Amino acid sequence: MRNLITIDKIEHTPEYEAYLRQLPQELLLKIVENAFAEIFVNDKDGRVVYVNPSSMRYHGLQPEELVGKASGEIKRGIWEPHSFAEVMEKKCPIVTENMYYITHKSLMSVNIPVFDADGEIELVISTAMDYVTRTDLSYRTSEKSIVSSDSDFSDEVIGSGEAFKACLKKLEKAVNVDLNVLILGESGTGKSFLAETLHRHSLRRNKPFFAINCAAIPENLLESELFGYVPGAFTGADPKGRTGLIKNADGGTLFLDEIGELSLPLQAKILDVLENKRYIPVGGNAFQHVDVRITAATNQNLIELIKQKKFRSDLYWRLNIIKVTIPPLRERKEDIILLANYFLKKNNQKYGTSKLFDKKMMYLISDYDWPGNIRQLKNAIERLVVYSEHMILEEELFWEYLREEGEVPAGPAQKKTYNLEEIKRDLVNEVYTKYKSSRKLAEVIGVSQSTANRLIQKYIRGEDAPDD
């Protein structure tokens, strides 16, 4: 979408002109380098002469990778449209709706020609800015992130789908009250991660957080790990005895992962901690007192375990005061791209690279079901970054990954082929079928309301609609 606009040249008073001219270069640099909006400047030959750091948020490239390059040299597919030629031809400001493919953003960009004394274009200055969210403000890792006035998790927890946001809302309710929380979800959906995030925001944040996976430790060891033991409790034990995790977490939070694996006798001891704030260490005969918040997680169906008499219903109801079920990644497709971009950024920082996804790779990633959920996605992105020899991550590496995971038969002939039309149609269909709202479609796929309306006209109603 393109629009022509007019911007009146501002005439300053001679005094103000004089003031501007004496401003030190250092100060001017500070201003443009710290501006939140993107500032992107081409000279009259289309060569990039300046890019401020903010623009990285939109197209994912370091200023150093762009400055000195001609517009045409900058890889297509990173953002579109390229409006330089049109500004030069029309000699007036042009507003475009730019799609930034790497970061999956759609933003209005204002492209303004600056004329020299002979009336010739000297520079084209483009600026763009999106809606501000706290996640965006953390784009400079070297600086402290902006402090938010409320206690929500959105600064550090990635995910914007409705189902996931509903989970966060429930968890946020547990921030200022000392209720037990039960987190359910498939492996890798982020149960441990959310339990720790909850602790860091909770009233107990200045006290310890301990986590233990009940499935990973044999039952006899698990009891002493959790409750500790007194001196001489059993042969081979430390003669001084040992403090367990429950005591170590005193005042703080203990996270019991895979709680469904806990034996019935240990379930009874945990229930006593919850109800009476007390426990007896292994080999002991006196109660110890403790104040610990228990957060638990499982990917098992606890109600089913209760029916099978493998899980105590009184413990279930005690833990279940706030229950959060994290949906698997395949049911919150809208979060896959967000998370993939987040992990790409983290790995670029870790390995000092500037790798990028192109449109097709983004589609492949969001189309896949990720049975291992966020853990699998995180590992796959790291692997792509490490294995890729090019700046744009190669599609073949993703297919190779899927083949190794046994997800697609070997051989290039088996590849599913995609084209941009199919991708757009599928995406619009999927999101619109789910939300039945053009506003929601615009929000989820990151386009303007008018573009969303055009997409609905074209792909849902099958009517003619102008291309963007």
Ligand X SMILES: Nc1ncnc2c1ncn2[C@@H]1O[C@H](COP(=O)(O)OP(=O)(O)OP(=O)(O)O)[C@@H](O)[C@H]1O
Count of C-beta atoms within a 10 Å radius of residue 363: 20
Tokens of 244: 């367990």
Least spacing, CB of residue 333 vs ligand X, in Å: 15
Contact 134, 155 (CB under 8 A): yes
Q: Which of residues 214-273 bind ligand X (CB under 6 A)?
A: 257
What's the one-letter identity of residue 43? D
Least spacing, CB of residue 210 vs ligand X, in Å: 15
Nearer to ligand X, 126 or 298 (CB): 298
| Residue facing ligand X at closest CB distance | 190
**Cα(369)–Cα(87) distance, integer angstroms:** 43
**Cα(238)–Cα(280) distance, integer angstroms:** 17
Nearer to ligand X, 312 or 345 (CB): 345
Nearer to ligand X, 157 or 408 (CB): 157
Tell me, by CB under 6 A, how many residues bind ligand X: 16
Told to check if 293 binds ligand X by CB under 6 A, we report no
Nearer to ligand X, 71 or 180 (CB): 180
Strand partners, 131: none
Least spacing, CB of residue 380 vs ligand X, in Å: 12
Sheet with 181-184, side-by-side order of all strands:
209-213, 253-257, 293-298, 181-184, 322-325
Nearer to ligand X, 188 or 252 (CB): 188
Please classify residue 467 by burial: count the beta carbons closer than 10 Å to its beta carbon, then call 0-12 exposed, 13-18 middle and 19+ buried. exposed
Least spacing, CB of residue 75 vs ligand X, in Å: 28
Told to check if 159 binds ligand X by CB under 6 A, we report yes
Least spacing, CB of residue 371 vs ligand X, in Å: 12
The string of DSSP letters for 42-67 reads EETTSBEEEE-GGGHHHH---GGGTT
Nearer to ligand X, 96 or 347 (CB): 347
Least spacing, CB of residue 166 vs ligand X, in Å: 14
Q: Which of 145, 180, 192, 388 binds ligand X (CB under 6 A)?
A: 192
Closest C-alpha to 69, from 48, 84, 53, 51: 48
Contact 25, 111 (CB under 8 A): no
Positive or negative: CA dihedral 7, 59, 136, 456: positive
Nearer to ligand X, 189 or 347 (CB): 189
Residue with tokens 């019935």: 264
Count of C-beta atoms within a 10 Å radius of residue 391: 14
Nearer to ligand X, 33 or 162 (CB): 162
- Packing angle of the helix pair 438-445, 420-435 (nearest 10 deg): 130
Positive or negative: CA dihedral 411, 412, 417, 418: positive
Least spacing, CB of residue 9 vs ligand X, in Å: 47
Least spacing, CB of residue 280 vs ligand X, in Å: 29
Beta carbons within 8 Å of 386's beta carbon, 6+ residues apart: 347, 351
Q: Which of 37, 95, 157, 306 binds ligand X (CB under 6 A)?
A: 157
What's the one-letter identity of residue 313? S
Nearer to ligand X, 66 or 324 (CB): 324
b vs e for 423-439, b when ≥16 Cβ sit within 10 Å of the residue's Cβ?
bbeebbebbbeeeeebe
What's the one-letter identity of residue 356? L
Least spacing, CB of residue 143 vs ligand X, in Å: 20
Least spacing, CB of residue 355 vs ligand X, in Å: 19
Nearer to ligand X, 222 or 282 (CB): 222
**Cα(199)–Cα(100) distance, integer angstroms:** 36
- Packing angle of the helix pair 420-435, 359-367 (nearest 10 deg): 40
Nearer to ligand X, 87 or 362 (CB): 362
Least spacing, CB of residue 259 vs ligand X, in Å: 11
Q: Which of 82, 88, 193, 263 binds ligand X (CB under 6 A)?
A: 193
Q: Which of residues 62-101 bind ligand X (CB under 6 A)?
A: none
Q: Which stretch binds ligand X (CB under 6 A): 134-142, 153-161, 239-247, 313-321?
A: 153-161
Least spacing, CB of residue 193 vs ligand X, in Å: 3
Q: Which of 191, 199, 247, 312 binds ligand X (CB under 6 A)?
A: 191
What x/- string results for residues 171 through 190 when contact with ligand X is judged by CB under 6 A? --------------x-xxxx
**Cα(234)–Cα(51) distance, integer angstroms:** 68
Told to check if 327 binds ligand X by CB under 6 A, we report no
Nearer to ligand X, 256 or 374 (CB): 374
Told to check if 299 binds ligand X by CB under 6 A, we report yes
Q: Which of residues 348-387 bind ligand X (CB under 6 A)?
A: 374-375, 378
The residue ranges that bind ligand X (CB under 6 A) are: 157-159, 185, 187-193, 257, 299, 374-375, 378
